[in-house]
Amino acid sequence: MTHTVGILGATGAVGQRLIQLLDPHPDFEIAALTASEDSAGKPYRKAAKWRISEPIPDDVADLTVSETDPDAISDDIDLLFSSLPSSVGERVESGFCEAGYVVSSNSSNQRMAEDIPLIIPEVNADHLALLEVQRDSRGWDGAMVKNPNCSTITMVPTLAALDDFGLSRVHVATLQAVSGAGYDGVTSMEIIDNAIPHIGGEEEKMESESRKLLGKFDGAELSMHDATVSASCNRIPTLDGHLENVWAEVEDEMSVEDAIEAMESYPSLDLPSSPDPLIEVFEEPDRPQPRLDREREEGMQICAGGLRESETGVQYNCLAHNTLRGAAGASVLNGELLAEQGYL
């Protein structure tokens, strides 16, 4: 069954990636695009400063951009993908849900709200049932699901694979690509020949979102995972692909071989955008690397490598494409899960 979809914030970096992923999608058909008032009323090809090497899809180029307002788009849209800046999303996303739209959002606002499911489908698809609590508590005819921060998405599937060994503490240091800050986020004078050892709000997102994603939903409320997570986030001059150094401590005995087997066997899902295997583990000690590995499985695979034992667990590196797996692709996966579970 084909579902008609719209994109909120379609001219931005993540919005463009959403178009790239959704135009050829077997189950979704783009029928609405929204942006700022300056872009409203223009055909998309004139409204967007297109930054992707592939041309704007023909089916999208002449679509007229609408204002980001529930009254400006058709009632026939089955699903909205939101790539709005969080400040804008905070103002307008709830209005779309009140108007009856189902929203799969990449925006950071409300990710930690008790009744908003924060989802990586391969990790915690069962949390989607929180939508029933959400609709009861908010009185919405629509619904909202969030995907986590791109740096969190890179790490959490590997942690989920180790959780059966009693995950108790996580330390992570990230080396994050400039595209994660958006087109205007980091100037060339700041990042060339440099590394920036702070990304505002990023550490807090990783520390809280990870525990929510790994938490348990009992049908009424969600409890956070007991593990403590400490993050240090750094911007480096790579274009795409977040590389992360992770120290995972566990309560039970676990060898490197155990950790590798757990990651390699961690299940994927029968969704169009979910890669199989979900996690690729490299034997080479110098992999994964952003330039070599970020495009694996069309940018949707999690890569890991460099595993070695520590006194209380394992240390390893992991990598994912931050604007594909970590942003636009994450929202598309959540949309696929919404469709599979009958929420559209």
Active site residues: 150, 242
CB-CB contact of 241 with 294 (8 Å):
yes
Residues 6+ apart with CB under 8 A from 313: 162, 165, 247, 248, 249, 250, 254
Residues 6+ apart with CB under 8 A from 218: none
Evaluate the CA torsion angle 258, 150, 299, 147 in order and state its sign: positive
Residue 132, SS3 per DSSP: helix
E strand intervals along 21-166 = 28-35, 65-67, 79-82, 102-105, 143-146
Q: Which two tokens stand for residue 167?
A: 């995950």
Give the bridge partners for 7, in sequence order: 33, 81
Amino acid letter at 293?
D
Residues 6+ apart with CB under 8 A from 156: 120, 123, 148, 209, 210, 213, 214
Q: Whole-angstrom Cα distance, residue 107 to residue 111? A: 8
Residue 76 phi, psi (nearest 5): -85, 0
CB-CB contact of 238 with 191 (8 Å):
no
Residue 113, SS3 per DSSP: coil
Q: Whole-angstrom Cα distance, residue 103 to residue 106? A: 10
Tell whether omega for the bond before 277 is within 30 degrees of 0, i.e. cis.
yes
CB-CB contact of 185 with 215 (8 Å):
no
Residue 77, SS3 per DSSP: coil
CB-CB contact of 163 with 154 (8 Å):
no
